[in-house]
Amino acid sequence: MANKKSETPVPDFEGTLKKLDSLVEKLEGGELTLEQALKHFEEGVTLARQCQQALRQAEFRVQELISESPNLDSSTEE
């Protein structure tokens, strides 16, 4: 069960990305205090890592599916 956490996809990738976009807009707005900006930046880094992990997992899954179905491999065009 220790590996289960690393194999679990990030729930709602689109929602996480939307939160990240919102944080970026607030940071770019320039109206936050330094403390607020640091808090938002820290949260943004966490969200970005979650999105990257979800994308890596999706890419791995796609590669698994392609390797299980050789007829779908687009690199072997005839």
State pLDDT tens for residues 3-46.
444 555 546 899 999 999 999 999 999 999 999 999 999 999 99
* 2 within a domain of the structure (yes/no): no
Q: What is the CATH number of the domain that holds 57?
A: 1.10.287
Whether residue 56 is predicted with pLDDT greater than 60 in this model: the reply is yes
State pLDDT tens for residues 61-74.
999 998 888 776 55
Q: Are 20 and 45 in contact (CB under 8 A)?
A: no
Q: Are 34 and 55 in contact (CB under 8 A)?
A: no
* 55 within a domain of the structure (yes/no): yes
What is the C-alpha separation between 54 and 9, in angstroms, rounded? Answer: 6
- Say what the pLDDT of residue 57 is: 94
- Say what the pLDDT of residue 68 is: 87
CA atoms within a 13 Å half-sphere pointing along the CA-CB vector of 24: 10
Q: Are 49 and 1 in contact (CB under 8 A)?
A: no
Residue found under tokens 């607020």:
36
- Say what the pLDDT of residue 1 is: 44
Structure tokens at 20: 């990240």
The range of the structural domain enclosing residue 53 comes to: 14-68
| Structural domains in the chain (count) | 1
